Amino acid sequence: MSAKLISTEPATGAHLWEGSVSDVPAEVARACSAWPRWAAQPIANRIETMRRFANAVRSAEEKLADLIARETGKPLWDARSEVAAVIAKVDISIAAYSERTGQKRLDAAMGARQAVRHKPHGVMAVLGPYNFPAHLPNGHIIPALLAGNAVIFKPSEKTPAVGEMLVSLYHQAGVPLDVVRLVLGGPQEGKALAAHPDVNGILFTGSAQTGIAINQQFAAQPQKILALEMGGNNPIIVWDTPEIASAASLVVQSAFMSAGQRCTAASRLIVRDSLADTVIAEVKKLADRLIIDHPHADPAPYMGPVIDNHAADGLTESFLILMSNGGKPIKHMVRPIKDRPFVSPAIIDVTAMTERPDIELFGPLLQVIRVPDFAAAIAEANNTRYGLSAALIGGTPEQYNQFWANVRAGIVNWNRPTNGASSAAPFGGVGISGNHRPSAYYAADYCAYPVVSAEIETPRATIGVGLKDIDTRQMGE
């Protein structure tokens, strides 16, 4: 008898969904049997199927947004934005496929031609996160399907209901049942999927710890494609600017949107010491006004809960550890509702700490670091093993050029938040934020591999050097 997987609403604790844990080998076998036929279809057919998927999502837009809001706890407006991104991903991925994996013809010697085309890898496993349970896995799945791969999607065990609905929408649009398969379960099923010999690649979004473990698992398997997006410990620098209110809004948006549960969320506010008190006061004043409530509350909240009590406990414990090691609280982290994973946005000055933990604090916890000059600000921004996103607020064009050139991150912004990256651009980082396989628009790169062919209709060849002379006497005999 299969084990059960249960999902509850973080905001209320209400039972939302339950289902059976999947049989991984059986799901892989079904995908393996289906992908050659899918890959053999004309690309026009796959494009049309993806466009039908976009229409299927439009028809279920409010239902999907409501499910995302309930299962993640994020405000309904935030969930609606996620669904809009799922729809937009189709046209973006079609354009990316054409641009980055399109066919090319080159002239060659003796009337031949060189052809560059792309082939799918085969069966791709997509391991999705809970913070964007539809948009982020969809960002792998659509490019993979366009390229001709079959996909086995394992959603986070914390958001299985959204994963199930997403897969049903692919099938509703006409993607063959065995071309997209759903694996439900926890870490054990994820490990089994990654280890399966018939899986040709893993497309992963999640924690650095899990991503590094997958990378180690694949170290002796170079034949398998591996794309890792593993979060960040992202800096936002506030420098000389008269627009303090706007700067504070950008900091709050970067640190606290989606309850800080974005891999691009700002974890560290680095600020010029002469400006620090003014900036911090404005950020705190705005953070104090943020409404924290359940997803469907009226007025609409800015933040919902974090994903579960385990995550909330970890955040409050992290805040206490920072305090006990020299951090000075500016805004305390509070649990306003007993037994529910709501946490208030927290701000703590860690300038005096001799050692700051270089970890991804996945929630609304902002650390403040005061610095004396711009070189120190950049050095502090780079004081991390991660390298996903970084932003400079204020400063001169020359300082932004210096920031852009020297900061280590895959997303570098000026007077914009650290989060909210466009799907029409590459998305990825350096260090332990990724393995140099950016997703979003560049996902096409890892969903197919290039094949070069020299082609001519009639074989024509001679060997003009290194041959012995022909002995005509022997030929005459």
Residue 445 has pLDDT above 70, yes or no: yes
Closest CA to 302 of 265, 338, 337, 252: 252
| In-domain check, residue 466 | no
**Based on the domain organization, do 213 and 338 belong to the same domain?**
no
**Based on the domain organization, do 246 and 224 belong to the same domain?**
no
| In-domain check, residue 460 | no
DSSP for 257-276, written as a single string: GGGG-STT-EEEEEEEHHHH
Closest CA to 181 of 171, 172, 191, 190: 171
Please confirm, yes or no, whether 229 is among the known catalytic residues: yes
* Average confidence score pLDDT of the chain: 94
At residue 249 the predicted structure's pLDDT band, cuts being 50, 70 and 90, is: very high
Q: At residue 263, what is the residue type?
A: C
| In-domain check, residue 470 | no
Residue 475 has pLDDT above 60, yes or no: no
Q: pLDDT tens digit string along 28-50?
A: 999 999 999 999 999 999 999 99
Interatomic CA distance for residues 196 and 216, integer angstroms: 15
Q: pLDDT tens digit string along 3-16?
A: 899 999 999 999 99
Calculate what percentage of the chain has a pLDDT beyond 70. 97
| In-domain check, residue 80 | yes
pLDDT at residue 472, rounded to an integer: 62
Catalytic residue among 9, 27, 229, 282: 229
Q: Which residue has the tokens 């991104």?
A: 85
pLDDT at residue 455, rounded to an integer: 82
Residue 112 has pLDDT above 90, yes or no: no
- Domain holding 157, by residue range, is 4-230+434-455
Q: What is the mean pLDDT of residues 14-20?
A: 96
**Based on the domain organization, do 29 and 117 belong to the same domain?**
yes
**Based on the domain organization, do 96 and 64 belong to the same domain?**
yes
At residue 477 the predicted structure's pLDDT band, cuts being 50, 70 and 90, is: low
Residues facing residue 234 across a β-bridge:
266
Residue 476 has pLDDT above 60, yes or no: no
CATH number at residue 377: 3.40.309.10
| Cα end-to-end distance, the chain, whole Å | 83
Q: pLDDT tens digit string along 61-89?
A: 999 999 999 999 999 999 999 999 999 99
Q: At residue 452, what is the residue type?
A: V
Number of domains in the chain: 2
| In-domain check, residue 465 | no
Residue 388 has pLDDT above 90, yes or no: yes
| In-domain check, residue 386 | yes
Give Cα separations from 239 to 80, 126, 252, 341 (angstroms): 34, 40, 16, 34
What global pTM score does this model have? 0.93
Please confirm, yes or no, whether 447 is among the known catalytic residues: no
Interatomic CA distance for residues 344 and 301, integer angstroms: 12
- C-beta separation of 125 from 201 below 8 A: yes
Interatomic CA distance for residues 67 and 122, integer angstroms: 31
**Based on the domain organization, do 198 and 68 belong to the same domain?**
yes
At residue 343 the predicted structure's pLDDT band, cuts being 50, 70 and 90, is: very high
**Based on the domain organization, do 168 and 268 belong to the same domain?**
no
**Based on the domain organization, do 129 and 216 belong to the same domain?**
yes
Give Cα separations from 187 to 127, 184, 194 (angstroms): 10, 10, 10
Q: What is the edge-to-edge ordering of all strands in the sheet holding 225-229?
A: 180-182, 150-154, 123-127, 201-205, 225-229
Q: At residue 265, what is the residue type?
A: A
Interatomic CA distance for residues 450 and 51, integer angstroms: 25
Interatomic CA distance for residues 413 and 236, integer angstroms: 9
**Based on the domain organization, do 15 and 106 belong to the same domain?**
yes
At residue 183 the predicted structure's pLDDT band, cuts being 50, 70 and 90, is: very high
At residue 104 the predicted structure's pLDDT band, cuts being 50, 70 and 90, is: confident
Residue 193 has pLDDT above 60, yes or no: yes
Q: Which residue has the tokens 């499910």?
A: 67
**Based on the domain organization, do 132 and 144 belong to the same domain?**
yes
Interatomic CA distance for residues 227 and 194, integer angstroms: 12
**Based on the domain organization, do 208 and 311 belong to the same domain?**
no
pLDDT at residue 1, rounded to an integer: 44
**Based on the domain organization, do 144 and 289 belong to the same domain?**
no
Q: At residue 270, what is the residue type?
A: I
Catalytic residue among 27, 32, 263, 282: 263
Q: Which of 51-60, 108-117, 218-227, 265-274 has the lowest mean pLDDT?
A: 108-117
Give Cα separations from 131 to 3, 70, 136, 140, 267 (angstroms): 24, 12, 9, 15, 16
Interatomic CA distance for residues 154 and 156, integer angstroms: 7
At residue 456 the predicted structure's pLDDT band, cuts being 50, 70 and 90, is: confident
CATH number at residue 141: 3.40.605.10
Residues facing residue 115 across a β-bridge:
105, 453
| In-domain check, residue 468 | no
Give Cα separations from 73 to 2, 266, 302, 344 (angstroms): 28, 20, 11, 14
| In-domain check, residue 43 | yes
Q: What is the mean pLDDT of residues 315-333?
A: 97
Q: Provide the token pair at 220.
A: 């002796």
**Based on the domain organization, do 337 and 412 belong to the same domain?**
yes
Three-class SS string for 99-168?
A: HHHCCEEEECHHHCEEEEEEEECCEEEEECCCCCCCHHHHHHHHHHHHHCCEEEEECCCCCHHHHHHHHH
Residue 338 has pLDDT above 70, yes or no: yes
Interatomic CA distance for residues 159 and 68, integer angstroms: 8
Residues facing residue 371 across a β-bridge:
272
Q: What is the mean pLDDT of residues 429-457?
A: 91
